[in-house]
């Protein structure tokens, strides 16, 4: 057994059109996995990189904020002939406003996408894996705000704190059934979700002062952790929230 070889495996990766999701999809493909990419927009560049790695690629368009969409993803993948045994829940959105001014619409939008859809996608994926008697790996993308409160992102903090709890709960229930459930907690990453922070000179400077590594993360900084949690190397790892944060939490 090669500890980090994903040959013969198939991974569903949500939010695979850009940022962390795209980097992880390509990284898993380079480690040997075929990719089922889920996103709201075209994933042309992701597909090109996955196919350049010699792996299969299936694109599924889905808006995971819509009721029932998450559960349908696994059914659609199976109907297309895929047999997924890795799930990476990366898709997510963020809304920023002072807590005193935060709206119910912004609360619901983030919770529906970042927490509710993840639960029901995990549920559908686990049902299929257990029915097929297939070992499987779930990797959720959590956040530093799974550990901390943050500011001006109440629904995002609630969702990512909840996701950490669900990761542990699902690990407790499914570990003995051959499914590993773990999460990666990225630090501050150069993605679309952090454009506003990086454009704010004061906030950007404050963030950089706190990061021992001295820089923002790049999306591909998350790939090694994702491969580890998807590969045989992590077969006895269950319910872990793995920070990949340049040392932020250690500070």
Give the active site residues. Answer: 156
| Strands lying side by side in the sheet with 34-39 | 57-61, 34-39, 10-14, 86-89, 136-141, 179-186, 241-244
Nearest to 40 by CA among 113, 105, 142, 116: 113
Instruction: Give the span between the Cα atoms of 51 and 128, in whole angstroms.
Output: 26
Residues forming beta bridges with residue 89, ordered by sequence position = 140
Instruction: Give the span between the Cα atoms of 17 and 64, in whole angstroms.
Output: 14
How many CA atoms are closer than 13 Å to the CA of 141, on its beta-carbon side?
Answer: 29
How many CA atoms are closer than 13 Å to the CA of 161, on its beta-carbon side?
Answer: 11
Kindly give, in sequence order, each residue whose CB lies less than 8 Å from that of residue 226, ignoring residues fewer than 6 positions away. 24, 27, 28, 88, 139, 184
């Amino acid at each position: 057994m090669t500890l980090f070889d994903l040959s013969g495996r198939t991974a569903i990766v949500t939010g695979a059109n850009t940022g962390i999701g795209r980097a992880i999809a390509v990284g898993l493909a380079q480690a040997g996995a075929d990719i089922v990419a889920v996103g709201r927009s075209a994933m042309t560049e992701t597909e090109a990189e996955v196919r350049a790695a010699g792996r299969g690629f299936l694109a599924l368009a889905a808006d995971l904020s819509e009721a029932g969409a998450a559960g349908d993803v696994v059914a659609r993948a199976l109907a297309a002939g895929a047999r997924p045994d890795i799930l990476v829940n990366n898709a997510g959105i963020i809304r920023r406003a002072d807590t005193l001014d935060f709206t119910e619409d912004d609360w619901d939008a983030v919770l529906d996408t970042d927490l509710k859809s993840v639960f029901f996608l995990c549920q559908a994926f686990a049902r299929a894996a257990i029915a097929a008697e297939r070992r499987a790996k779930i990797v959720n993308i959590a956040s530093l705000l799974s550990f901390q409160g943050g500011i001006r992102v109440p629904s995002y903090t609630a969702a990512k704190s909840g996701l950490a709890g669900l990761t542990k709960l699902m690990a407790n229930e499914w570990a003995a059934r051959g499914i590993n459930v773990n999460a990666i907690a990225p630090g501050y990453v150069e993605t679309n979700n952090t454009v506003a922070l990086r454009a704010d000179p004061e906030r950007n400077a404050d963030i950089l002062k706190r990061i021992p590594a001295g820089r923002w993360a790049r999306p591909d900084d998350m790939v090694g952790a994702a491969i580890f949690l998807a590969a045989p190397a992590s077969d006895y790892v269950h319910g872990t929230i793995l920070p990949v944060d340049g040392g932020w939490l250690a500070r």
